[in-house]
Amino acid sequence: MTDILHVSATWKRVYPGAAVGVLALRNVVNPEHHPALEARKAELEERLRMRYAGQSKADLKALPPIQAYTAYYKRFDKTYHLLLQLESIALKGKPIPRVAALVEAMFMAELDDLLLTAGHDLGLVSLPLRLDVASGSERFVNLAGQEHVLKPGDMFIADGQGILSCIIYGSDRRTMITPATRAALFTTYAPAGIGAEAVREHLQHIWELVALIAPQATLDCLEVYTA
């Protein structure tokens, strides 16, 4: 698959040092639960608690990836939601939420690598994608079914029909992953300070976890774009 994502000149100008990654997989499945993924999830919970044992929320905020996202979210008076989720699981002992396997695989990689990722049903996406910076006039309906007007300056990815995701409000409802999903698209947003190689490794991590669920999965695209 070539030219899956068109990068705007505005994005490159506004966000020097940023990176966005795209992972497209076909022949996937999305069961409600999968034993191999459940075992890996239990391992991850234990590893996160050992990794951050004795640390505070302030210590988590000082982690380099979280610092990069915190600086981005601060521009919009928001808090990086993955920080709160990491605190809940690593410091407070809460379990990783149970959701359908493809989404769970993505979230597990997010927690481990601390990189923000959106997941979509590739079969519902009108390619090519476009990476741009919001003017503040764009609208979309998020996963929860709420309509949002994008914040001016927020990074977003759109397809031929509309917004797929943005950093501040997350993923859209139109292309959400469902039990019927047989091809998946994952996109990772990385503000300056994270780097292309970290994004590439994160997407490979997601692919590895998806392969536990769907060993027959095939790779369509794994690309990282930089400003």
CATH code, domain carrying 108: 3.50.40.10
Whether residue 78 lies inside any domain: the answer is no
Are the C-beta atoms of residues 120 and 185 closer than 8 Å to each other? yes
Q: What is the pLDDT along the chain (227 residues), one digit of tens a residue?
A: 557 999 999 999 999 999 999 999 999 999 999 999 999 999 999 999 999 999 999 999 999 999 999 999 999 999 999 999 999 999 999 999 989 999 999 999 999 999 999 999 999 999 999 999 999 999 999 999 999 999 999 999 999 999 999 999 999 999 999 999 999 999 999 999 999 999 999 999 999 999 999 999 999 999 999 99
Whether residue 48 lies inside any domain: the answer is no
- Residues near 75 by beta carbon (within 8 Å), at least 6 away in sequence: 153
Q: Per the structure block, which two tokens stand in for 82?
A: 């993955």
Whether residue 61 lies inside any domain: the answer is no
Whether residue 193 lies inside any domain: the answer is yes
Partners of residue 226 on adjacent β-strands: 19
Are the C-beta atoms of residues 120 and 171 closer than 8 Å to each other? yes
**Shortest CA distance to 105 belongs to which of 186, 172, 179?**
186
**Domain limits for position 135:** 5-33+99-226
Partners of residue 118 on adjacent β-strands: 187
Whether residue 77 lies inside any domain: the answer is no
Number of domains the chain contains: 1
Whether residue 40 lies inside any domain: the answer is no
Q: Per the structure block, which two tokens stand in for 212?
A: 């536990």
Instruction: Label the pairing between strands 5-7 and 129-133.
Output: parallel
3-state SS class at 189: strand
**Is the bond leading into 128 cis (omega within 30 degrees of zero)?**
yes
Q: How far apart are CA 65 and CA 53, in angstroms?
A: 19
Q: Model pTM? A: 0.97
Instruction: Label the pairing between strands 147-149 and 139-141.
Output: antiparallel
Q: Per the structure block, which two tokens stand in for 139?
A: 């609208």
Partners of residue 188 on adjacent β-strands: 21, 117
Whether residue 68 lies inside any domain: the answer is no
Whether residue 50 lies inside any domain: the answer is no
